[in-house]
Structure 1
Amino acid sequence: MSSSNSRLHTPAASTSTSTSKHWVDPAALPPAPSIDVTTISGNVPDYAKQLVCNVFHAYGVGSSDQQFGYALGRATRFVDMSVEHSSERAGRMEGTTVAEVAVTKHMLNGAGMLHGGCVTYLIDNCASTPLVLLGIMSGQNGVGVTQGMNVLFHAPAPIGTVLRIISSSISMGSRVMSARCEIVDKASGRVVASAFLNKMQPVPPQSRL
Structure 2
Amino acid sequence: MKPGSDMDPSQVEGNASSEVKHTLLGALQSMRLSHISQSTDKPFRGFEAEFASRLQLTEVSILSKAEEPEKFEGRVVIQVTVDEEMLNSAKNMHGGCSAMMIDICSTMPIYVLGASTSGYGVFGVSQSLNIVYHSPALSGDKLRIVSTTLAVGSRALSSRCEIWNVTRHRLVASAVHIKMVPSEPKASESAKL
Same-fold status (TM-score > 0.5): yes
Distance 1:93 1:34 in 2: 27
Question: Structure 2, unaligned stretches of length 5 or more?
Answer: 36-43
8 Å contact kept, 1:134–1:142: no
Q: CA-to-partner distance for each residue in 1:139-189, whole Å, 9 max, x for gaps? A: 234311111110000101110001100000000011111000000111232
Which one of 169, 181, 186 corresponds to residue 189 of structure 1?
Answer: 169
1:48 corresponds in structure 2 to 20
Greater mean alpha carbon deviation, residues 48-57 or residues 89-98? 48-57
What SS does structure 2 have at the residue aligned with 1:119? helix
What SS does structure 1 have at the residue aligned with 2:7? coil
Which one of 104, 107, 116 corresponds to residue 128 of structure 1?
Answer: 107
Distance 1:203 1:48 in 2: 24
What SS does structure 2 have at the residue aligned with 1:155? coil
8 Å contact kept, 2:33–2:45: no
Distance 1:185 1:152 in 2: 15
What SS does structure 2 have at the residue aligned with 1:75? coil
Which one of 59, 71, 80 corresponds to residue 59 of structure 2?
Answer: 80
Question: Structure 1, unaligned stretches of length 5 or more?
Answer: 2-32
8 Å contact kept, 2:17–2:116: no
What SS does structure 1 have at the residue aligned with 2:53? helix
1:35 corresponds in structure 2 to 7
Distance 2:28 2:141 in 1: 22
Identity of aligned residues (%): 33
1:105 corresponds in structure 2 to 84
Q: CA-to-partner distance for each residue in 1:3-35, whole Å, 9 max, x for gaps? A: xxxxxxxxxxxxxxxxxxxxxxxxxxxxxx932
What SS does structure 2 have at the residue aligned with 1:71? helix
2:40 corresponds in structure 1 to none
Give the Å deviation of 1:90: 4.6
Give the Å deviation of 1:107: 0.4
2:120 corresponds in structure 1 to 140
* Divergent runs of 4+, >3 A: 60-65, 206-209
| Higher Rg of the two aligned structures | 2
Distance 2:153 2:27 in 1: 20
C-alpha RMSD of matched pairs (Å): 2.1
Distance 1:195 1:171 in 2: 14
Establish whether residue 202 from structure 1 lines up as the match of residue 170 from structure 2: no
